[in-house]
Chains A and B, each alone.
Chain A
Amino acid sequence: MFQIRIHGRGGQGVVTATEMLSVAAFEEGRHAQAFPSFGSERTGAPVVAFCRIDDKEIRLREPIMEPDALIIQDPTLLHQINVFAGLKPDGYVLLNSHHDFEALGLGDLVRDRGRQRMCTLPATELGLKHIGRPIPNVPLIAGFAALSDIIKLESVIKAINEKFSGKVAEGNIAAATEAYNLVKEQMKEHANA
């Protein structure tokens, strides 16, 4: 079973991101379970949502305490809560920022974990560029697909088409595709470094 935890703020589409991840996994014939942390969500308040992916039925209902992957939609959360709590030693980290980890004061984390499974992505900028709104969720799940290869970009695109239509779907697909390619390039650089 692969477990993903997404941290963000109310209004950033955190819950939608996990739901779309689960739809993408379902499109690949896998079992998936997405659920929010069930707070009284308010715009701007910290929000956590979860997604499990497996090849068999998922019965477990506990919150994800030891994730295989973290997606952090808002870097300002780094100063507010311990988003890395419970992350597995070989876990993936995808962080929404146009800075690298060192510039965000996370140099130690990179040193401890290595770069192979860590990436930053300017997802808010991609949202603004392609969708016209600062919503980072879709670029981030496409970036996660590139980082982990747990799901395919085409499945993310299927999930986008299920959720949106017309121009909004087109914009999201463009954002997802650019995000995917940016992360793949970064991973290549990390591998060659």
Chain B
Amino acid sequence: MLKQTEGSKAVAEAIALCRPEVICAYPISPQTHIVEALGEMVKAGELAPCEFINVESEFAAMSVAIGSSAAGARSYTATASQGLLFMVEAVYNASGLGLPIVMTVANRAIGAPINIWNDHSDSLSQRDSGWMQLFAETNQEAVDLHIQAFRLAEELSMPVMVCMDGFILTHAFERVDIPSQEQVDAYLPPFDPRQVLDPKEPMSIGAMVGPEAFMEVKYLAHAKQMQALELIPQLAAEFKQQFGRDSGGLVRTYRAEDAETMIVAMGSVLGTIKDVVDDMREQGHKVGVLGIVSYRPFPLAQVREALVNCKRFLVLEKSLAVGMGGIVATDVRMAVSGTGLKGFTAIAGLGGRAIPKASLHKLFLEAEQENLEPVTFLDLDWDAVNKQLERERQNRHSGPIAENILYDKGISSAAKFG
């Protein structure tokens, strides 16, 4: 049913339609509205049979999900930012044990400095955790990806993170088509676990594995993600057949046919990018877009195929590998290695910094002219940066950086050093 609703509410409804049997979560902005709504549905008996378990931390949330999934229950949780970091040990255990948990990450920056706003640092910090990661462009896609995620996770017996931009999507009211229970039931069969803890047939899950077998277990985790490269497009095609919508898949292109400059990105910023590309196309610029839906597994072949005919590309990402540059860009560059393609990286939107059309327009024109540094920081306030660098040169006791920057920008009355 078509409705105008909040992204978090829509995702909660989608999760309920997937008939989870255990939901365990600890609230953290901007994920809170999702689990609040699910908690209400369980309490009202609208979502049954399902146990909603209030836990004392994110570490407990993932630990409970591991237990319930191993016991054969379809298990769901959601988190963000510091919450994801707090559960990391259990995050690796979930994938290492091959448990098909689905988790929403309402993407938010990582502190310090503490910041509740959106970027992709949290899920990208779990790049190598063995979880699959799918990024939603809109709230409709967030709904659709969660339904596909349970299929994907349970077919491969591996966990999936569905990543949606915190606030920008989770708190946005927009038009969403919520499927019917019959549609979702037809697409998503009941959970039939590959491994299950059952007192009637006792066995263990989670053996200690020494050097003689560890590599094989790890290789098999990799092999499953390679299988996911085949399965994700199949699930998206089947989804389209059943629900009539293009959602998910590995990558999606926009106006890419004859593009000389390609813009690569993930998540909701793709919408703004497409609007800029439409404007530039009207002015005769041959610009196109490559949206990456599946960040893990990373679709090297599909990214290469989408970029191989352009002349240059720009990866715009909401993440930063400090001391290195782009995170997504590194993977994209690997995908096109040997082609001689010119690639640029733009770090944008960290900690919720707005990504305006005007800034993107200017950036894309510079990319088209190949007039960019290898790594660009979009809309960075160089005056503020240089002032602090100068302060550090002048004064050994230059004080805390965040407080200094806030003071220089007139945002707070934080103590000024030097």
Contacts and interface: CB of A to CB of B under 8 A. Distances in A.
Interface of A: 18-19, 22-23, 25-27, 31-36, 38, 40, 58-63, 65
B356 interface: yes
B168 A35 contact: yes
B173 A19 contact: yes
Given A60-B272, A60-B357, A61-B272, 5 more contacts: A22-B173, A23-B173, A32-B175, A38-B117, A38-B171
Given A61-B168, A61-B269, A61-B272, A35 B173 contact: yes
Nearest to B357: A62
B282 to A, nearest CB: 16
B173 A59 contact: no
Contact of A26 (B4, B168, B352): B4
Contact of A35 (B167, B352, B356, B357): B167
B173 to A, nearest CB: 4
Contacts of A62: 272, 354-357
B4 A61 contact: no
Nearest to B139: A33
A20 B30 CA distance: 21
Interface in B331-368: 352, 354-357
Could you tell me the dominant secondary structure of chain A's interface residues? mixed
B116 interface: yes
B116 to A, nearest CB: 6
B173 A61 contact: no
A128 to B, nearest CB: 27
Contacts, number: 66
A32 B6 CA distance: 12
15 contacts: A19-B6, A22-B4, A23-B4, A25-B4, A27-B4, A32-B173, A33-B174, A34-B172, A35-B167, A36-B167, A38-B30, A38-B352, A60-B275, A61-B268, A61-B269
Interface residues of B, number: 26
Contact of B173 (A27, A34, A38, A65): A34
A188 B272 CA distance: 39
A118 B120 CA distance: 41
User: Most B CB atoms within 10 A — which of A18, A34, A61?
Assistant: A61
A61 B175 contact: no
Contacts of B175: 26, 31-32
A31 B355 CA distance: 22
Contacts of B6: 19
Contacts of B400: none
A38 B357 CA distance: 19
Given A38-B167, A40-B116, A32 B356 contact: no
B274 interface: yes
Contacts of B274: 59
Contacts of B3: 26
Contacts of A27: 4
Contact of A32 (B174, B352, B354): B174
A22 B352 CA distance: 23
A36 B356 CA distance: 16
Contacts of A18: 173
Contacts of B189: none
A66 to B, nearest CB: 10
A16 to B, nearest CB: 10
Contacts of A61: 168, 268-269, 271-272, 355
